[in-house]
Structure 1
Amino acid sequence: MTGITNSRTGSCHCGAVRFEVSLSDGFKSVRRCNCSYCRMRGSVVAMTALDGIKILQGKDVLTSYRFNTGTAQHFFCSRCGIHTHHQRRSDPSRHAVNVACLDGVSPFDFPEVPVTDGINHPNDTGTLPRLAGTLRFESPSER
């Protein structure tokens, strides 16, 4: 794996898939997307290089899904159905890792998560990536 800057381990829900990831920018790159697939899946992701994820166990139970242009490849456990990571459409040289699969991390650890505009994807519009909004989480004690 390139540039171990923030090495983490993780797994799917049932534990059949275990992996190690080197997050390129730590958690500075967390985001969501509003495209049809990401909106339904609802995961918060962090970025890594294409070779920044190493499957330690369960490669045989990982399956993938592609839609629309077929560029992005979304990986999930064929037993429990949890999305672990995907190869990005906007930058196929990178993976996005589901932070909820990382040991000791929750998507609710991030009070604000930028939401990218995947409905108007830059590869479709020829424009620069844009922000669709911000997802905010506040605990009851913060109200």
Structure 2
Amino acid sequence: MTGGVRTWHGSCHCGAVRFAADIDLDRGTIVCNCSLCTKQRNWAAIVPAAAFRLLHGAGALTEYRCNTRTERHLFCATCGIRPFGTGTSPRWGEYVAVSVHCLDDLAADARAALPVTYLNGRDDDWDNPPADVRQL
């Protein structure tokens, strides 16, 4: 386990975007099966917006919105990596979805041990996991 809430640091591939977030990774992460999350192999830790700090690179971020256009999928315009996104939901309120793979100080073995909740965004059935998660 990762030891409760702590400050994690992350970045995109080229380093143009850097952030810090206070995350309790022991509380779990999410993987969604909607078409966007599946194509980008999104694996995220959800944090309250107040627990996230963009340290560098606001000008390097490009935004993509799909479907309901309520979530901001942010990615680095230089390297194309999506280090985080933002949104509002009934479940989490104002949140930031931090890409687990972009956490620079999370060791590979700790990452592999993180608890995962699978979300069925493809069927808009957020309360029940998808039947098949093999491809996620």
Structure 1 runs not aligned, ≥5 long: 123-127, 137-143
The Cα shift of 1:109 comes to: 1.7
Partner of 1:113: 116
Structure 2 runs not aligned, ≥5 long: none
Q: Which amino acid aligns with 2:104?
A: D
Percent identity at matched positions?
33
The Cα shift of 1:62 comes to: 0.9
Q: Give matches, 1:54-133, under 5 Å.
A: 54-88=53-87, 90=89, 91-105=92-106, 106=108, 109-110=112-113, 113-122=116-125, 129-132=127-130
Which piece of structure 1 moves more, 50-59 or 101-110? 101-110
* TM-score under structure 1 length normalisation: 0.77
CA gap of 1:103–1:111, structure 2 versus 1, over 3 A, is closer
The root-mean-square deviation of aligned C-alpha atoms, in Å, is: 2.5
Count of paired positions: 127
Structure of higher CA gyration radius: 1
